[in-house]
Structure 1
Amino acid sequence: MSKQAVRQKIRTLLQTLPPAAFQKEGIQALLRLRESPLWDDYQRFLFFLSTDREIDTAPLMEAAFSDKKEVYVPKIEGDSLVFYRIYSPAGPWSLGTFKIREPETVRQEDALKREGSSLLILVPGLAFDPRGARLGHGKGYYDRFFAALDPPGERTDPTKKNYTALGLCLEIQLLPRIPTETWDKPMDALCTGSSLRYCPKDENTALSQP
């Protein structure tokens, strides 16, 4: 099945779900992540602001503020994603490209220009598979972000990364296998309302934390 066919299949499926399904899994995903070592291992969190057809990230963001984490959210600038620090789950927000909420240009601090601690990056997607393969909306913003974040020749070397890429989605968005290209960024772990699982290179040894 082509990428476009998978996208259409998942979009159609998501349209059939009530809003409560996205909210419920957002709360459950918070419990999974907060109980995992990832929550304590990282101080800087890069979130995405969920739309009405994505797992709700509001509970995770509120918990991050409660636990005194540094919270950053993306803003589209040209063809790039830039993550800026915010100081409240209430924003302030503005509507950016594609009518998605973005941080206003107030007290902004670029996450990648900060020295020091490493990053936990929560990544949206239409679908993921056990290898960590991700299928986005086809605009390439996260692909370009990770390409800029990873030094040339080091994108698959875990010893030279200062971040963990965590795919965040509903359980029904996990598929047995999705089509990928050479430039697609694999996730290090996947989190849903039902599980937090890690994605080693050998998909046959994939770990699961139910």
Structure 2
Amino acid sequence: MTAKFIVIEGLEGAGKSTAIALCQNYFHQKNVSYIDVREPGGTPLAESLRELVKAEHKETMSAEAELLIMYAARAQLVTNIILPALENNTWVLADRHDLSSQAYQGGGRQIASETLSALSNIVLKNLRPDLTIYLDLDPKIGLARAAKRGELDRIEQEQLSFFQRTRAKYLEIANSDDSIKTVDASQDIESVHKNITAVLNDFFKTEANK
């Protein structure tokens, strides 16, 4: 089976880290050679941009500046890490990818889809995830979970309405894209893990039969 690009998506507190650990164990069982990446971040320059976009500043960061920083970081990761890995037949497991920008900057910040599409076309070079697992969660629950982890970053401190718009955009896109599988992250952890495993089983079965 050729290398695949799998992404875990979701709001703060949805359980992405736990889902990624589950995927890692699954890949080990399948003897799949893979790398982990995260967005924004994943290269030295992209990690610096991550710190920049998440930190609080004396001046207000415009929605457009935030968007461009996200795509600058993504450009570094795609060009230097993701594409070379896939070309080397190494799977890529990502904590967030382009869908995050569509949801957070497109939905949350209400930036026009045409703007996002233009940047996406420039940066991604026709790259698309083979599978995205979207962990859906009411933002009230997610933010309460995130607050228990410690101090919130600049984006995590946004108003509830911002995250409600972000979730709505996630669901809108997920419902129109067969490569995005939605998992109810409000369930108990055992049920969430069972559902993620079922998604992975279906994906591997489908790919093996191609």
TM class, shorter-length? 0.3 to 0.5
Greater helix share, structure number: 2
- When the two structures are superposed, what TM-score results if normalisation uses the length of structure 1? 0.34
Greater strand share, structure number: 1
- When the two structures are superposed, what TM-score results if normalisation uses the length of structure 2? 0.34
